[in-house]
Structure 1
Amino acid sequence: MPITNRESDARLAVAAAQAGAAVVRDMYGEPSARFEKGAGDFATAADLAAEKAVLDVLRGARPDDAVTGEESGRTGAADAERRWLVDPLCGTLNYAVRTMLVAVNVALRTGAGTTVAAAADPFNDEVFWTDGEHARVRRGGADEVLVPSAGSRLVDVNLDPPFPNAPDFRAARLLTDPAFGEHFRPRVVSTTLAVAWVAAGRRAAYVTDGRPYDSVHFAAGIALCEAAGCVVTALHGQPLGTGADGLIVAADRRTHTTLLELVRSQVPAER
């Protein structure tokens, strides 16, 4: 059976994410200068080297595709039909302080949608990936279908800025809501690897403020969750990319509904 373009793109996304993950793993623990990017954000030598490894794979196979890299910015035609979104080291601060909670994210936007994606965990030798129709995790050369589950009751909440929905919504306030504690147990790992964990059934949900639509940080995880059958919306339940920003990814409709109610409860009644 011939390999379709989407299958080929999916294999490329996995290979690129694995190349970046190998660099991240090999450079772990090395002394590294911080390259300040403003607003408290920074990159390390590992960010730069991992992005180069990812881009080398992508450009070697798809030289005509456009790319947006976390560190190198946008290249290729501004209106390109095909654009790769690359976050070479999601969890830079974790990595810089020798915490092994990071991801290498690679996603392909074709037109208005993400068609394939891969999120690699360098330290567990896992790659979560999707061809846009199915979601799987590859470990030890074998693929396993991702099955979302809310059974853990663990919800990751991102506390990093920006906070465009403040003061009506603050992620930190969600954690202190007694109703949240009645339903869920909070986790804060500060990497979008946690989004892939929702697709894998390791988290019940993920919540963040900010602007995740078409983002190098979130595109891969969102595509994985959508392919796995998770419920994925913006912070107030609307489709991503419309209205207010933010993100709720939930393993099932019941979990999503509960989180949506908790978010809405923060908005003053007079509104």
Structure 2
Amino acid sequence: MHPMLNIAVRAARKAGTLIIKSHENPDSISVDAKAENDFVTNVDRAAEALIVETIKRAYPDHTIIGEESGLAKGADSETQWIIDPIDGTSNFIKGLPHFCVSIAVRVKGRTEAGVVYDPMRNELFTASRGQGAQLNGYRIRVGNAKDLNGALLGMALPYCQKQFGEYYFRALEKLFVTCGDVRRSGSAALDLVYVAAGRLDGFFEIGLKPWDIAAGELILREAGGVMTDFAGGLNYMASGNVMAGNPKVVKELLTQTQGVWPDVLKR
């Protein structure tokens, strides 16, 4: 295993243990609102602190970008750890057992290692660049859907960008006519690795953040999938607008939604 991936796995498992204990004791969870429909808990903060501590022991000079703690520059600014301590915080708050820890390592702008850990199911999705993607040590691959007919798509609602709801539902209407069904799980990182494992055929969402995407994107690509923005380009880390699936599914997603998105969502 890549040395940095090994540390990422260790950190994710430690955070997962903390998260499970808190999930089993809901009275210990306190919630704050960061913005409208955007929440953080004391457990998010504690899990992120534990992850950062684990990374810093091994790599004290690396730069860290955490959803809750922000940017912590290190002497090595070219190696960045991107952390989401709980992707699916709203699920966690409500006691819905569908959330994960997401950790990615980027070196000179390229993601080299990624971990998405679902502590409730003890499912560990991992990837190192050029080494394939795994679930609990077993190789995973994207599904072989040739188009959207009968496809199962993951999606999310633009709950923090409701001004784009009109366009989003127009796209969903077009896709729903063709696809088999859709799922809205509440965790983008898990949706991406579910596409990587063939559990979902495709996924699309508006306004994701780098910590939502970074690990899942590498795992998806190492499993044979692709990710684009809404224009078919590679600006998704900046825009947060994502289409994901095997190459044929993504092509269909882009074709079916062509002309739906306003220019501001295609940049």
Q: Same fold (TM over 0.5)?
A: yes
Contact 1:92 1:102 in 2 (8 A): yes
1:84 matched to which residue of 2? 81
Amino acid at match of 2:122: D
The counterpart of 2:133, out of the listed 129, 132, 135, is: 135
Hey, what does 1:71 align to over in structure 2? 68
On the 8 A contact 1:119/1:221 being kept in 2, the answer is: yes
| Structure 1 contact 157–186 (Cα < 8 Å) conserved | yes
Correspondent of 1:249 among 241, 244, 250: 244
* Structure-1 residue corresponding to 2:232: 237
- Amino acid in the other structure paired with 2:219: L
How has the CA–CA distance of structure 1 residues 121 and 24 changed in structure 2, closer, same or farther, with 3 Å as cutoff? same
Question: Does structure 2 retain, via aligned residues, the 8 Å contact 1:163–1:170?
Answer: no
Whole-Å separation in 1 of the counterparts to 2:238 and 2:10: 35
SS where residue 199 of structure 2 aligns? Answer: coil
Q: Distance in 1 between matches of 2:158 and 2:237?
A: 22
The one of 186, 189, 197 equivalent to 1:190 is 186
Task: Give the total of aligned pairs.
Answer: 254
Q: Distance in 2 between matches of 1:165 and 1:234?
A: 19
Task: Indicate how the Cα distance of structure 1 residues 84 and 97 shifts in structure 2: closer, same or farther if over 3 A, else same.
Answer: same
**How many Å separate the matches in 1 of 2:197 and 2:250?**
16
Alignment deviations for residues 174-204 of structure 1 (CA, whole Å, 9 cap, x no partner)? 3323x53322311101102111111111110
1:46 aligns with 2:26: no
* Structure 1 contact 164–209 (Cα < 8 Å) conserved: no
- For 1:158, give the aligned amino acid: A
- What is the CA–CA distance in structure 1 between the aligned matches of 2:239 and 2:6, rounded to whole Å? 34
Distance 1:69 1:202, change over 3 A: same
Alignment pair present for 1:180 and 2:176? yes
Partner-residue secondary structure (3-state), 2:129: coil
Q: What residue in structure 2 maps to residue 261 of structure 1?
A: 255
Q: Deviations over 1:88-108 (max 9, x none)?
A: 000001011110110100001
Q: CA deviation at 1:147?
A: 1.0
Please say if residues 150 and 255 of structure 1, whose CA atoms lie closer than 8 Å, have aligned partners that are also in contact: no
Distance in 2 (CA, whole Å) between partners of 1:100 and 1:157 is: 18
**Which residue in 1 is equivalent to 2:265?**
none
Q: Which has the higher helix share?
A: 2
* SS of aligned partner of 2:92: helix
Q: Deviation string for 1:207-250 (max 9, x for gaps)?
A: 011254xx111111111111111021111211235896511111
The CA deviation at 1:79 is 7.7
Structure 2 unmatched ranges of 5 or more: 263-267
> Once structures 1 and 2 are overlaid, which stretch shifts more, 36-45 or 95-104?
36-45
Cα separation, partners in 2 of 1:10 and 1:71, compared to 1, 3 Å: same
Q: In the alignment, is the contact (CA less than 8 A) between 1:121 and 1:127 conserved in 2?
A: yes
Contact 2:213 2:237 in 1 (8 A): no
The correspondence of residues 12-161 of structure 1 with structure 2, limited to 5 A, is 12-29=7-24, 30-31=26-27, 32-77=29-74, 80-133=77-130, 134-138=132-136, 143-150=137-144, 153-161=151-159
Q: Quickly say closer, same or farther: Cα 1:108–1:164, change in 2 above 3 A.
A: farther
Correspondence for 1:221:
216
Q: Does 2:6 correspond to 1:11?
A: yes
Unaligned ranges ≥5, structure 1 = none
Change over 3 Å in CA distance of 1:92–1:261 after alignment to 2: same
Once superposed, what is the RMSD of the aligned Cα atoms?
2.3
The 1-side partners of 2:155 and 2:8 are apart by: 27
